[in-house]
Amino acid sequence: MRRFSAALASFLRPRSSSSPSAESEPQFTAAQMTRQPAGRPRFAAYGPLMAFGPSYVSGLGEEGVKAMPAGEPPRGTVRQIELDLRVDVRDLLPRITAPTLVVGATRDHLVPVEHARALHAAIPGSEYAELDSGHVVLHERPEEVVTLIRHFIDGEQCGES
């Protein structure tokens, strides 16, 4: 679990400064919570709080939050984060010629929406849409995601171009 903590903490660490800014402080504090052993209640609550948007979690109510699976990340998560931290494909993005839809999640604590906006800006001719959701947008807003994809496939405007 220490590898996951270190990878997540470095993923969330602001790159421009050694100390967290006011904007990133909640993320940095949440990353520090991963240092709790997996059996502790604070750690168990960490995953859902980072994965889902605040309004989604609030809407679940206390019982719904308690019923959420918690604990260890899914198998392969650590390796995926390590890969994400190592690989930089930014120079390849302008070469993408396939029709591309980029969807940003405005409440994503793991991959800030600014990353989706930058991805859209770097892919020529891409379309962009934002959803008020956390990282697990397919769980929070499945109908909206399907609608965006259908509109995109049908050639209808999804958001920004």
| pLDDT single digits (tens) 11-29 | 333 444 333 343 444 444 4
Cα–Cα dist 27/11, whole Å: 10
With contact defined as beta carbons under 8 Å apart, do 120 and 145 qualify? Answer: no
φ, ψ dihedrals at 160, nearest 5°: -80, 155
107 vs 136: CA distance, rounded Å:
10
Backbone conformation region of residue 12, classed left if phi is above 0, alpha if psi is from -120 to 50, else beta: alpha
Q: What's residue 43's pLDDT?
A: 52
CA 18 to chain CA centroid, Å, is 22
**Residues 135 and 56 sit within 8 Å (Cβ to Cβ):** no
What is this structure's pTM? 0.65
Q: What's the confidence (pLDDT) of residue 51?
A: 78
Q: What confidence score (pLDDT) does residue 77 get? A: 78
DSSP 56-78: HHHHHHHHHHHHS--SSPPTTHH
**What pLDDT does 95 receive?**
95
Residues 142, 106: Cα–Cα separation, whole Å? 15
In order of 23, 114, 136, 150, 152, the CA distances from 160 in angstroms are: 25, 15, 22, 16, 12
Beta bridge partners of 105: 131
Q: What is the pLDDT of residue 118?
A: 93
Confirm if 71 and 44 have CB atoms less than 8 A apart: yes
Run means of pLDDT, 10 residues per run, the chain, 161 residues? 36 39 42 50 63 77 70 75 85 93 92 92 95 91 95 81 58
